[in-house]
Amino acid sequence: MPAKKSLAMLLGSVLMFGSTQLMAAPTASMLADTCAGCHGPDGSSMGPAIPNIAGVSAEYFNTVMKEYAEDDRASTIMGRIARGYTTEEIALMADFYAAKKLKSTTQKLDTAKVDAGSKLYKKNCSKCHDEFGALADDDSGILAGQWLPYLHYSMEDFQAGNREMPKKMKKKIKKLSAAEIETLLQFFASQQ
Amino acid sequence: MTQIKRRDFIKIAGATAAVSAFGFPAIAAAGGKKKVVIVGGGTGGATAAMYIRRGDPSIEVTLIEPNEHYYTCYMSNEVLSGARSLDSIKFGYDGLRKHGVTVVHDMVTGIDAKAKKVSTKGGKSFGYDRCIVAPGISFKDNIAGYDEAAHKLMPHAWKAGEQTKILHGQIEAMKDGGTVLIAPPPNPFRCPPGPYERACQIASYLKKSKPKSKVLILDAKDKFSKKGLFTQAFERHYKGIIEWVPAKDTGGGIKSVDAKAGTATTGSGDVHKADVTNIIPAQVAGKIAHTAGLTNESGWCPVDHKTFESTIHKGIHVIGDAAIQKPLPKSGYAANSEAKVTAAAVVDLVNGREPGTPSWVNTCYSIVAPADGISVAMVYNFVDGKVAKVKGSGGLTSKDSTPAERAREVQYAYSWFNNITTDAFGGY
């Protein structure tokens, strides 16, 4: 009986793919669930530093993973992980996490800085990081409710040239002081 | 009141068994509910319970674990240095209950693969469609004199909790100028980088509080996990404090102890009387795996890598440290990853579907100094019926990584800990 079944499967796959490749790709949840050990269940991280990935747009996820794999974006560990997947597998994970809703985080923030940041946000960031950094569809990642240490690391990488900054962002960042940038990061972290 | 309920349940269960014995389809008698019993509530067992419930909430999942709390082995080395509290590595099972898992605190004493029944010390019996065994490790008698009484005097602290507390207390009570002897086990064992991270954590405390003290590692091996990075850490942070001695220089490391006299003797006959002696014995699968006949001559459990079903007993899956899962390591993250693969396979199997293609990840951090973290990672796929490393993926932290990157890895390690424990114990 098992022999019969595998023969049927073999024929099935030959018919479908015209090859003898038997192994189907892992499902989206099979692939994506392996991320949860570090990024939290369904991509909502408990912090303090590993970022949330729940709800990021598929476009953003795909781009970032490609950059990690090719060492175009600085990372400690993500390059090593990203190189383990095909473009198709990454796309499955991207769709999986795009469909997840981010759970709100609680982190210690400085209210005065958050307030100051909210004033700077509109003028400097709102065009690309829409809805206070919460809109996935702008493909800029989700900054709202993101863990503050991660936002610090990202900004350090941007400013050190280890991660490519969009031209418009570069111009804006240049004009802001370190203290002002800090208030912006605190503001984004405070958003739910 | 719950007791009455339980008794009623047993009566009903007994009646159902009788009905099925008379030829009624078991499925109808059991009301169509599929049952999975999980033996062991560590990282693997708890994750499997969570992910079966996520995959198919109609499945009744019962997890049987003797202890009301689980202390994670990962991060327990930070308890030894005082960097974190024992409470911070302690997890209960309310998270699993919240997700619909029935948690029973009892000791499993037998698994009948033919009758598909698990029996406990408390005299209960649990029928199952699929059973998942996640028993962790037990110790071999490879060190003469290292008996139960010796465990208290020369703690292994390789199962976290009470043992961690004893070892921490001994290190705290030690005089400045004392020596902590660590005897790491031969391969294979739980948490391959663990003994060396432990040496760093203890040395980190000594450097600060008892600077004339030493950590002597008398290894049963000539090489070990992340060796290059650990050697760099010993040099960089603990020069003159940590000394590592390979097996070839001592006749194979520590071979016997006299716990009362406080001595440990190497294979070449050198007697060491350290102020604190941490003996980590050689390991095999947890006890129940042996009782249930799930182990082979190696003392570990052979499994089909696609589903982690035992190749000895059908219907029983073995995950975590106890399984023969190479090239996956015996780590907490691998247990978490194996549990998810197994949960998906079990959900498919009880629903009469062919299990899908598995995928695994391992990520393991070691904190070698307060702002110096290192890691090893790997993505695994399924090739020719076995777990395989995906070529080009994974690897170690670079030896040349900057202090800033090392500091990030510490924060990532803490995040890793928060997330894997939330994922496994259902803290969401």
Q: How far is B295 from chain A (nearest CA, A)?
A: 26
Strand B130-133 to strand B316-318: parallel, antiparallel, or no bridges (unpaired)? parallel
Cβ-based contacts of B418 with chain A (< 8 Å):
40, 45-48
- Among A31, A37, A156, select the one facing B423 at the smallest CB separation: A37
Residue partners of A179: CB distance under 8 A and separation at least 6: none
Q: Average pLDDT over chain A, rounded to whole?
A: 90
B390 with A39: Cβ contact below 8 A: no
Cβ-based contacts of B427 with chain A (< 8 Å):
46
Q: Mean pLDDT over residues A172-188, rounded?
A: 97
pLDDT on residue B209:
98
Joined tokens for residue A13: 């796959």
A77 with B418: Cβ contact below 8 A: no
Q: What is the pLDDT of residues B63-110, one digit of tens each?
A: 999 999 999 999 999 999 999 999 999 999 999 999 999 999 999 999
Residue partners of A129: CB distance under 8 A and separation at least 6: A121, A135, A138, A140, A143, A188
Cβ-based contacts of B428 with chain A (< 8 Å):
40-41, 44, 103
B359 with A38: Cβ contact below 8 A: no
Q: Mean pLDDT over residues B363-377, rounded?
A: 98
> ∠B34-B40-B45 over CA atoms, to 5°?
65
pLDDT on residue A13:
43
Q: Is B342 on the interface with A (CB under 8 A)?
A: no
Q: Mean pLDDT over residues B267-293, rounded?
A: 98
B393 with A81: Cβ contact below 8 A: yes
The interface residues of chain B toward chain A in range 50-89, judged by CB-CB distance below 8 A, are 51
A38 with B336: Cβ contact below 8 A: no
Kindly identify which residue of chain A lies nearest to residue B336, measuring between CA atoms: A37
Confidence band for A138, pLDDT divided at 50, 70 and 90: confident
Q: Is A28 on the interface with B (CB under 8 A)?
A: no
A37 with B401: Cβ contact below 8 A: no
Q: Mean pLDDT over residues A173-185, rounded?
A: 97
At B36, give phi and psi (nearest 5°): -120, 130
Q: Which stretch of DSSP H or E encloses residue B418?
A: helix B403-425
**ipTM exceeding cut-off 0.85 for this assembly:** yes
| Identity of residue A113 | K
Q: Mean pLDDT over residues B8-34, rounded?
A: 47
Helices (H), B215-327: 227-237, 287-291
Q: Is B347 on the interface with A (CB under 8 A)?
A: no
Q: What is the pLDDT of residues B345-356, one digit of tens each?
A: 999 999 999 999
* pLDDT surpassing 80 at residue B203: yes
Cβ-based contacts of A102 with chain B (< 8 Å):
none
Q: Which one, of B43, B273, B11, lies nearest residue B159 by Cα?
A: B43
Strand B90-91 to strand B70-71: parallel, antiparallel, or no bridges (unpaired)? antiparallel
Joined tokens for residue A122: 């509109």
Q: Torsion-angle region of residue B186: left (phi > 0), alpha (psi -120 to 50) or beta?
A: beta
Strand B108-112 to strand B117-120: parallel, antiparallel, or no bridges (unpaired)? antiparallel
Tell me the three state secondary structure of residue B91: strand
Lowest mean pLDDT among A4-13, A86-95, B33-42, B221-230: A4-13
pLDDT on residue B19:
41
Q: How far is B112 from chain A (nearest CA, A)?
A: 25
User: Most confidently modeled of A98-107, A134-143, B292-301?
Assistant: B292-301
At B369, give phi and psi (nearest 5°): -160, 165
Q: Mean pLDDT over residues A111-128, rounded?
A: 96
Q: Is the dihedral of CA B415, B418, B423, B428 positive or negative?
A: negative
Q: Mean pLDDT over residues B24-40, rounded?
A: 70
Joined tokens for residue B188: 């294979």
- Among A46, A76, A83, select the one facing B393 at the smallest CB separation: A83
Question: What are the beta bridge partners of residue B104?
Answer: B64
* pLDDT surpassing 70 at residue B24: no
Cβ-based contacts of B363 with chain A (< 8 Å):
37-38, 77, 81
Q: Is A156 on the interface with B (CB under 8 A)?
A: yes
Q: Is A78 on the interface with B (CB under 8 A)?
A: no
pLDDT on residue B31:
55
Q: Is B327 on the interface with A (CB under 8 A)?
A: no
Query: Cα–Cα distance between B315 and B248 in angstroms, integer?
Result: 44
B340 with A33: Cβ contact below 8 A: yes
pLDDT on residue B32:
81
- Among A26, A48, A85, select the one facing B411 at the smallest CB separation: A48
Concatenated DSSP letters for A86-111? -HHHHHHHHHHHHTSPPPP------H
Task: State chain A's maximal CA–CA distance in angstroms.
Answer: 72
pLDDT on residue A22:
59
pLDDT on residue A104:
84
Contact A131, A175 (CB under 8 A): no
* pLDDT surpassing 50 at residue B8: no
Q: How far is A85 from chain B (nearest CA, A)?
A: 8
pLDDT on residue A105:
82
Query: How many contacts (CB atoms, under 8 Å) link A and B?
Result: 129
Confidence band for A12, pLDDT divided at 50, 70 and 90: very low
B43 exposed, middle or buried (CB, 10 Å; 0-12, 13-18, 19+)?
Answer: buried
Q: Which one, of B255, B40, B259, lies nearest residue B138 by Cα?
A: B40
pLDDT on residue A192:
85
How long a stretch of residues is chain B? 428
Lowest mean pLDDT among A47-61, A125-139, B84-98, B412-426: A125-139
Helices (H), chain A: 2-17, 28-32, 36-39, 58-69, 78-82, 87-98, 111-124, 130-133, 148-160, 167-175, 178-190
Tell me the three state secondary structure of residue A40: coil
Query: Cα–Cα distance between B49 and B339 in angstroms, integer?
Result: 8
Confidence band for A1, pLDDT divided at 50, 70 and 90: very low
* pLDDT surpassing 60 at residue B249: yes
Q: Which one, of B124, B349, B368, B46, lies nearest residue B228 by Cα?
A: B368
Confidence band for B29, pLDDT divided at 50, 70 and 90: very low
pLDDT on residue A20:
40
- Among A23, A37, A89, select the one facing B333 at the smallest CB separation: A37
* pLDDT surpassing 50 at residue B7: no
- Among A31, A39, A76, select the one facing B405 at the smallest CB separation: A76
* pLDDT surpassing 70 at residue B10: no
